[in-house]
Amino acid sequence: MLSNEGSRRAATPSGAAPRGRTRAPLPFPDRPVLFFGGKGGVGKTTMAAAAALDMAARGHRTLLVSTDPAHSTADVLQAELGDRPRRVADGCWAMEVDPEREADRYIDAVKERVASAAPPRLLGEVYRQIDIARVSPGAAESALFDRFTRILEDEGGDYDRVVFDTAPTGQTLRLLSLPELMATWISGLIQRRKKIGALAQMWKNVAGSEEVPTPENDPLLGALEARRDRFRAARRILTDRRRTAFVFVVIPERLPIWETEKAVEALAKHDVPVGAIVVNQVLPAPAAGAGDDPFLAARRERQAAYLARISQSLGDWPVLRVALLDSDPVGVDALRRIPVER
Protein backbone atom coordinates (compact mmCIF):
# COMPACT_ATOMS: atom_id res chain seq x y z
CA MET A 1 0.00 0.00 0.00
CA LEU A 2 1.18 3.51 -0.75
CA SER A 3 3.29 4.69 2.16
CA ASN A 4 2.45 7.65 4.36
CA GLU A 5 4.35 10.89 3.80
CA GLY A 6 6.29 10.52 7.04
CA SER A 7 7.43 6.99 6.28
CA ARG A 8 8.04 7.36 2.55
CA ARG A 9 11.37 5.97 1.46
CA ALA A 10 13.87 8.18 -0.34
CA ALA A 11 13.56 8.34 -4.10
CA THR A 12 16.04 6.32 -6.10
CA PRO A 13 18.29 8.00 -8.68
CA SER A 14 15.79 7.23 -11.46
CA GLY A 15 13.26 9.32 -9.56
CA ALA A 16 15.54 12.32 -9.13
CA ALA A 17 14.63 15.74 -10.48
CA PRO A 18 15.79 16.43 -14.02
CA ARG A 19 18.96 18.47 -14.20
CA GLY A 20 18.69 22.10 -15.10
CA ARG A 21 15.22 22.67 -13.67
CA THR A 22 14.71 26.39 -13.12
CA ARG A 23 10.97 26.83 -12.49
CA ALA A 24 9.37 26.63 -9.07
CA PRO A 25 7.20 23.61 -8.22
CA LEU A 26 3.62 23.86 -9.44
CA PRO A 27 1.07 24.73 -6.72
CA PHE A 28 -0.88 21.48 -6.89
CA PRO A 29 -1.71 19.78 -3.54
CA ASP A 30 1.22 17.73 -2.29
CA ARG A 31 -0.39 14.41 -1.36
CA PRO A 32 0.61 10.79 -1.99
CA VAL A 33 -2.63 10.25 -3.94
CA LEU A 34 -4.19 12.85 -6.24
CA PHE A 35 -7.33 12.54 -8.35
CA PHE A 36 -7.94 14.88 -11.27
CA GLY A 37 -11.52 15.15 -12.47
CA GLY A 38 -13.96 17.44 -14.20
CA LYS A 39 -16.34 17.74 -17.08
CA GLY A 40 -15.14 16.25 -20.35
CA GLY A 41 -13.01 18.59 -22.43
CA VAL A 42 -11.83 20.94 -19.66
CA GLY A 43 -8.22 19.70 -19.71
CA LYS A 44 -8.08 17.36 -16.71
CA THR A 45 -5.81 14.89 -18.53
CA THR A 46 -3.37 17.67 -19.35
CA MET A 47 -3.40 18.92 -15.75
CA ALA A 48 -2.97 15.42 -14.34
CA ALA A 49 0.01 14.78 -16.60
CA ALA A 50 1.55 18.15 -15.71
CA ALA A 51 1.11 17.42 -12.00
CA ALA A 52 2.69 13.96 -12.31
CA LEU A 53 5.70 15.31 -14.19
CA ASP A 54 6.07 18.10 -11.65
CA MET A 55 6.05 15.63 -8.76
CA ALA A 56 8.66 13.52 -10.53
CA ALA A 57 10.78 16.64 -11.03
CA ARG A 58 10.65 17.23 -7.25
CA GLY A 59 12.25 13.83 -6.73
CA HIS A 60 9.12 11.73 -6.10
CA ARG A 61 8.76 8.45 -7.95
CA THR A 62 5.37 9.05 -9.55
CA LEU A 63 2.78 6.87 -11.28
CA LEU A 64 0.16 8.47 -13.55
CA VAL A 65 -2.93 6.26 -14.00
CA SER A 66 -5.65 6.95 -16.56
CA THR A 67 -9.07 5.49 -15.76
CA ASP A 68 -10.82 7.57 -18.41
CA PRO A 69 -12.26 5.33 -21.17
CA ALA A 70 -11.28 8.02 -23.71
CA HIS A 71 -7.61 7.36 -22.87
CA SER A 72 -6.10 10.64 -24.04
CA THR A 73 -3.18 10.33 -21.62
CA ALA A 74 -1.06 8.53 -24.20
CA ASP A 75 -1.82 11.27 -26.74
CA VAL A 76 -0.95 14.06 -24.30
CA LEU A 77 2.32 12.41 -23.32
CA GLN A 78 3.04 11.22 -26.87
CA ALA A 79 3.81 7.76 -25.52
CA GLU A 80 2.62 4.21 -26.07
CA LEU A 81 0.77 3.17 -22.91
CA GLY A 82 -0.91 -0.01 -21.74
CA ASP A 83 -2.28 -1.50 -18.56
CA ARG A 84 1.15 -1.84 -16.96
CA PRO A 85 3.35 1.13 -15.92
CA ARG A 86 5.73 2.48 -18.54
CA ARG A 87 8.44 5.06 -17.90
CA VAL A 88 7.65 8.32 -19.71
CA ALA A 89 10.16 10.67 -18.04
CA ASP A 90 12.76 10.72 -15.27
CA GLY A 91 10.99 9.44 -12.18
CA CYS A 92 7.58 9.26 -13.88
CA TRP A 93 5.63 6.23 -15.11
CA ALA A 94 2.19 6.08 -16.72
CA MET A 95 -0.47 3.48 -17.51
CA GLU A 96 -4.00 3.32 -18.94
CA VAL A 97 -6.67 1.10 -17.38
CA ASP A 98 -9.49 -0.03 -19.67
CA PRO A 99 -12.75 -0.44 -17.65
CA GLU A 100 -14.28 -2.90 -20.11
CA ARG A 101 -11.17 -5.07 -20.17
CA GLU A 102 -11.06 -4.99 -16.38
CA ALA A 103 -14.70 -6.10 -16.24
CA ASP A 104 -13.94 -9.05 -18.54
CA ARG A 105 -10.93 -10.03 -16.43
CA TYR A 106 -12.92 -9.80 -13.24
CA ILE A 107 -15.74 -11.96 -14.62
CA ASP A 108 -13.23 -14.58 -15.77
CA ALA A 109 -11.70 -14.65 -12.29
CA VAL A 110 -15.13 -15.05 -10.71
CA LYS A 111 -15.88 -18.00 -12.99
CA GLU A 112 -12.61 -19.66 -11.98
CA ARG A 113 -13.46 -19.33 -8.30
CA VAL A 114 -17.01 -20.58 -8.83
CA ALA A 115 -15.76 -23.59 -10.78
CA SER A 116 -13.89 -24.78 -7.69
CA ALA A 117 -16.86 -24.36 -5.36
CA ALA A 118 -20.10 -25.02 -7.25
CA PRO A 119 -21.40 -28.50 -8.15
CA PRO A 120 -20.63 -29.31 -11.82
CA ARG A 121 -24.33 -29.79 -12.63
CA LEU A 122 -25.01 -26.16 -11.69
CA LEU A 123 -22.07 -24.51 -13.43
CA GLY A 124 -23.92 -23.81 -16.68
CA GLU A 125 -26.65 -21.82 -14.94
CA VAL A 126 -24.17 -20.11 -12.61
CA TYR A 127 -22.06 -19.00 -15.58
CA ARG A 128 -25.18 -17.67 -17.30
CA GLN A 129 -26.04 -15.57 -14.27
CA ILE A 130 -22.46 -14.26 -14.09
CA ASP A 131 -22.58 -13.27 -17.77
CA ILE A 132 -25.81 -11.38 -17.11
CA ALA A 133 -24.11 -9.55 -14.25
CA ARG A 134 -21.27 -8.59 -16.62
CA VAL A 135 -23.58 -6.41 -18.72
CA SER A 136 -25.55 -4.99 -15.80
CA PRO A 137 -25.19 -1.29 -14.85
CA GLY A 138 -22.19 -0.63 -12.66
CA ALA A 139 -20.27 -3.79 -13.60
CA ALA A 140 -17.45 -1.90 -15.33
CA GLU A 141 -17.20 0.63 -12.48
CA SER A 142 -17.02 -2.16 -9.91
CA ALA A 143 -14.26 -3.96 -11.81
CA LEU A 144 -12.42 -0.68 -12.34
CA PHE A 145 -12.52 0.11 -8.65
CA ASP A 146 -11.24 -3.37 -7.90
CA ARG A 147 -8.24 -2.63 -10.14
CA PHE A 148 -7.87 0.79 -8.49
CA THR A 149 -7.52 -0.84 -5.07
CA ARG A 150 -4.97 -3.29 -6.46
CA ILE A 151 -2.95 -0.44 -7.96
CA LEU A 152 -2.73 1.20 -4.55
CA GLU A 153 -1.71 -2.13 -3.02
CA ASP A 154 0.65 -3.45 -5.67
CA GLU A 155 2.03 -0.31 -7.29
CA GLY A 156 1.83 1.98 -4.28
CA GLY A 157 4.81 0.37 -2.63
CA ASP A 158 6.95 1.24 -5.67
CA TYR A 159 5.92 4.90 -5.93
CA ASP A 160 5.84 7.96 -3.71
CA ARG A 161 2.97 9.57 -5.59
CA VAL A 162 0.04 8.17 -7.58
CA VAL A 163 -1.96 10.56 -9.81
CA PHE A 164 -5.30 9.40 -11.24
CA ASP A 165 -6.67 10.94 -14.42
CA THR A 166 -10.33 10.03 -13.99
CA ALA A 167 -13.37 9.75 -16.24
CA PRO A 168 -15.77 12.69 -16.62
CA THR A 169 -17.39 13.83 -13.39
CA GLY A 170 -20.52 11.65 -13.27
CA GLN A 171 -18.63 8.39 -13.80
CA THR A 172 -15.97 9.40 -11.30
CA LEU A 173 -18.51 10.18 -8.58
CA ARG A 174 -20.10 6.77 -9.06
CA LEU A 175 -16.65 5.18 -8.83
CA LEU A 176 -15.72 7.00 -5.61
CA SER A 177 -19.04 6.11 -3.98
CA LEU A 178 -18.39 2.39 -4.47
CA PRO A 179 -16.32 1.69 -1.31
CA GLU A 180 -19.27 2.32 1.00
CA LEU A 181 -21.82 0.61 -1.22
CA MET A 182 -19.71 -2.41 -2.13
CA ALA A 183 -18.35 -3.03 1.37
CA THR A 184 -21.91 -3.14 2.72
CA TRP A 185 -23.14 -5.32 -0.14
CA ILE A 186 -20.22 -7.74 0.12
CA SER A 187 -20.68 -7.99 3.90
CA GLY A 188 -24.25 -9.12 3.21
CA LEU A 189 -23.02 -11.72 0.73
CA ILE A 190 -20.51 -12.99 3.28
CA GLN A 191 -23.22 -13.45 5.90
CA ARG A 192 -25.44 -15.30 3.43
CA ARG A 193 -22.53 -17.47 2.33
CA LYS A 194 -21.78 -18.38 5.94
CA LYS A 195 -25.44 -19.23 6.56
CA ILE A 196 -25.56 -21.44 3.46
CA GLY A 197 -22.34 -23.12 4.58
CA ALA A 198 -23.75 -23.76 8.04
CA LEU A 199 -26.97 -25.22 6.62
CA ALA A 200 -24.99 -27.41 4.22
CA GLN A 201 -22.85 -28.67 7.07
CA MET A 202 -25.97 -29.53 9.07
CA TRP A 203 -27.36 -31.45 6.10
CA LYS A 204 -24.08 -33.30 5.73
CA ASN A 205 -24.20 -34.35 9.37
CA VAL A 206 -27.79 -35.53 9.05
CA ALA A 207 -27.73 -37.13 5.62
CA GLY A 208 -24.08 -38.05 5.28
CA SER A 209 -23.80 -36.18 2.00
CA GLU A 210 -20.54 -35.32 0.29
CA GLU A 211 -18.11 -32.91 1.95
CA VAL A 212 -19.08 -29.24 1.87
CA PRO A 213 -16.80 -26.19 2.17
CA THR A 214 -16.13 -24.87 5.67
CA PRO A 215 -15.39 -21.19 6.44
CA GLU A 216 -11.71 -22.12 6.58
CA ASN A 217 -11.53 -23.71 3.11
CA ASP A 218 -14.38 -22.01 1.22
CA PRO A 219 -12.76 -20.27 -1.80
CA LEU A 220 -15.77 -18.04 -2.46
CA LEU A 221 -15.96 -16.89 1.14
CA GLY A 222 -12.24 -16.15 1.16
CA ALA A 223 -12.49 -14.15 -2.07
CA LEU A 224 -15.44 -12.13 -0.75
CA GLU A 225 -13.67 -11.32 2.52
CA ALA A 226 -10.48 -10.30 0.70
CA ARG A 227 -12.42 -7.99 -1.60
CA ARG A 228 -14.34 -6.46 1.28
CA ASP A 229 -11.06 -5.75 3.07
CA ARG A 230 -9.63 -4.10 -0.05
CA PHE A 231 -12.66 -1.83 -0.37
CA ARG A 232 -12.38 -0.85 3.28
CA ALA A 233 -8.68 -0.08 2.87
CA ALA A 234 -9.43 1.98 -0.25
CA ARG A 235 -12.07 3.95 1.65
CA ARG A 236 -9.55 4.76 4.37
CA ILE A 237 -7.17 6.14 1.74
CA LEU A 238 -9.87 8.11 -0.09
CA THR A 239 -11.02 9.86 3.09
CA ASP A 240 -7.56 10.53 4.59
CA ARG A 241 -6.88 14.25 4.10
CA ARG A 242 -3.19 13.77 4.77
CA ARG A 243 -2.84 11.26 1.94
CA THR A 244 -5.50 12.07 -0.66
CA ALA A 245 -6.89 15.10 -2.46
CA PHE A 246 -9.30 15.53 -5.37
CA VAL A 247 -8.48 18.30 -7.85
CA PHE A 248 -11.29 19.62 -10.02
CA VAL A 249 -10.40 21.11 -13.38
CA VAL A 250 -12.89 23.63 -14.74
CA ILE A 251 -13.03 26.28 -17.45
CA PRO A 252 -14.70 29.68 -16.92
CA GLU A 253 -18.01 28.67 -18.51
CA ARG A 254 -21.43 28.15 -16.95
CA LEU A 255 -21.96 24.38 -17.35
CA PRO A 256 -18.50 23.22 -16.18
CA ILE A 257 -18.77 25.49 -13.12
CA TRP A 258 -22.26 24.25 -12.27
CA GLU A 259 -21.16 20.61 -12.64
CA THR A 260 -18.13 21.20 -10.43
CA GLU A 261 -20.23 22.84 -7.72
CA LYS A 262 -22.52 19.80 -7.64
CA ALA A 263 -19.56 17.40 -7.67
CA VAL A 264 -17.90 19.12 -4.71
CA GLU A 265 -21.12 18.70 -2.74
CA ALA A 266 -21.28 15.02 -3.69
CA LEU A 267 -17.70 14.34 -2.62
CA ALA A 268 -18.38 16.01 0.73
CA LYS A 269 -21.14 13.45 1.37
CA HIS A 270 -18.58 10.68 0.95
CA ASP A 271 -15.87 12.49 2.96
CA VAL A 272 -13.49 12.61 -0.02
CA PRO A 273 -11.29 15.70 0.47
CA VAL A 274 -11.06 18.36 -2.24
CA GLY A 275 -7.57 19.82 -2.59
CA ALA A 276 -7.83 22.52 -5.26
CA ILE A 277 -9.82 23.98 -8.13
CA VAL A 278 -7.90 24.49 -11.38
CA VAL A 279 -9.40 27.08 -13.72
CA ASN A 280 -8.09 26.29 -17.18
CA GLN A 281 -8.11 28.34 -20.40
CA VAL A 282 -8.17 31.77 -18.75
CA LEU A 283 -7.69 34.51 -21.34
CA PRO A 284 -4.53 36.54 -20.67
CA ALA A 285 -4.70 40.30 -20.30
CA PRO A 286 -4.05 42.28 -23.51
CA ALA A 287 -0.48 43.36 -24.14
CA ALA A 288 0.43 46.72 -22.63
CA GLY A 289 -0.25 49.58 -25.03
CA ALA A 290 -2.10 47.37 -27.50
CA GLY A 291 -5.76 47.85 -28.32
CA ASP A 292 -8.09 45.04 -27.30
CA ASP A 293 -10.06 43.20 -29.95
CA PRO A 294 -13.83 43.71 -29.29
CA PHE A 295 -14.51 39.97 -29.40
CA LEU A 296 -11.71 39.19 -26.95
CA ALA A 297 -12.77 42.08 -24.73
CA ALA A 298 -16.29 40.64 -24.52
CA ARG A 299 -14.91 37.19 -23.76
CA ARG A 300 -12.69 38.58 -20.99
CA GLU A 301 -15.65 40.38 -19.45
CA ARG A 302 -17.70 37.20 -19.45
CA GLN A 303 -14.80 35.20 -18.03
CA ALA A 304 -14.37 37.78 -15.28
CA ALA A 305 -17.97 37.16 -14.18
CA TYR A 306 -17.43 33.40 -14.15
CA LEU A 307 -14.14 33.75 -12.28
CA ALA A 308 -15.97 35.80 -9.66
CA ARG A 309 -18.55 33.03 -9.32
CA ILE A 310 -15.78 30.44 -8.89
CA SER A 311 -14.18 32.54 -6.15
CA GLN A 312 -17.53 32.83 -4.40
CA SER A 313 -18.81 29.25 -4.65
CA LEU A 314 -15.52 27.32 -4.72
CA GLY A 315 -13.21 29.71 -2.92
CA ASP A 316 -12.97 27.54 0.19
CA TRP A 317 -10.23 25.67 -1.67
CA PRO A 318 -7.11 26.98 -3.43
CA VAL A 319 -8.09 28.27 -6.87
CA LEU A 320 -5.32 27.84 -9.43
CA ARG A 321 -5.33 29.46 -12.86
CA VAL A 322 -3.92 28.31 -16.16
CA ALA A 323 -3.79 30.79 -19.03
CA LEU A 324 -5.18 29.87 -22.42
CA LEU A 325 -2.20 28.81 -24.54
CA ASP A 326 -1.67 29.45 -28.24
CA SER A 327 -1.13 25.72 -28.90
CA ASP A 328 -1.98 22.39 -27.30
CA PRO A 329 0.60 21.32 -24.69
CA VAL A 330 1.53 17.91 -26.07
CA GLY A 331 4.62 15.99 -25.02
CA VAL A 332 6.68 15.99 -21.83
CA ASP A 333 8.56 19.22 -22.54
CA ALA A 334 5.39 21.19 -23.33
CA LEU A 335 3.58 19.81 -20.28
CA ARG A 336 6.43 20.92 -18.05
CA ARG A 337 6.02 24.48 -19.29
CA ILE A 338 2.32 24.83 -18.43
CA PRO A 339 1.87 28.01 -16.35
CA VAL A 340 -0.16 27.07 -13.24
CA GLU A 341 -0.51 30.01 -10.88
CA ARG A 342 -2.24 30.80 -7.59
Q: What is the pLDDT of residues 101-152, one digit of tens each?
A: 877 877 787 777 777 666 677 677 667 766 766 666 566 667 777 788 888 7
Strand segments, DSSP code E, in the chain are 33-37, 62-66, 86-89, 92-96, 161-165, 244-250, 274-282, 319-323, 340-341
**DSSP codes joined into one string, 181-230:** HHHHHHHHHHHHHHHHHHHHHHHHHHH--S----TTT-HHHHHHHHHHHH
pLDDT at res. 18: 46
* pTM for this entry: 0.79
Do the domain assignments include residue 11?
no
Q: Is residue 222 part of a domain?
A: yes
Output the domain CATH number for residue 187: 3.40.50.300
For the stretch 305-336, pLDDT in tens is 999 999 999 999 999 999 999 899 999 999 99
5 in a structural domain: no
Supply the range of the domain harboring residue 259: 23-341
Query: In 3D, which of 23, 240, 54, 313 has the Cα closest to residue 163?
Result: 54
> Does residue 217 fall inside a structural domain?
yes
Whether 109 maps to a domain, the answer reads yes
What band does 246 get if pLDDT is binned at 50, 70 and 90? very high
3-state secondary structure of 321: strand
Confidence of residue 200 (pLDDT cuts 50, 70, 90): low
Query: With bands split at pLDDT 50, 70 and 90, how would you rate the model's confidence at 19?
Result: very low
Spatial strand order in the sheet of 319-323? 86-89, 92-96, 62-66, 161-165, 33-37, 244-250, 274-282, 319-323, 340-341
Query: Residue 207 — pLDDT band, cuts 50, 70, 90?
Result: very low
Number of domains observed in the structure of the chain: 1
Q: Is residue 126 part of a domain?
A: yes
3-state secondary structure (DSSP) of residue 290 = coil
pLDDT tens digits, one per residue of 40-82: 899 999 999 999 999 999 999 999 999 887 778 999 999 999 9
Q: Residue 74 domain-assigned? A: yes
Residue 51, classified by CB atoms within 10 Å of its CB into exposed (0-12), middle (13-18) or buried (19+), is: buried
Q: Give domain status of residue 8, yes or no.
A: no
Average pLDDT value over all residues in the chain: 79
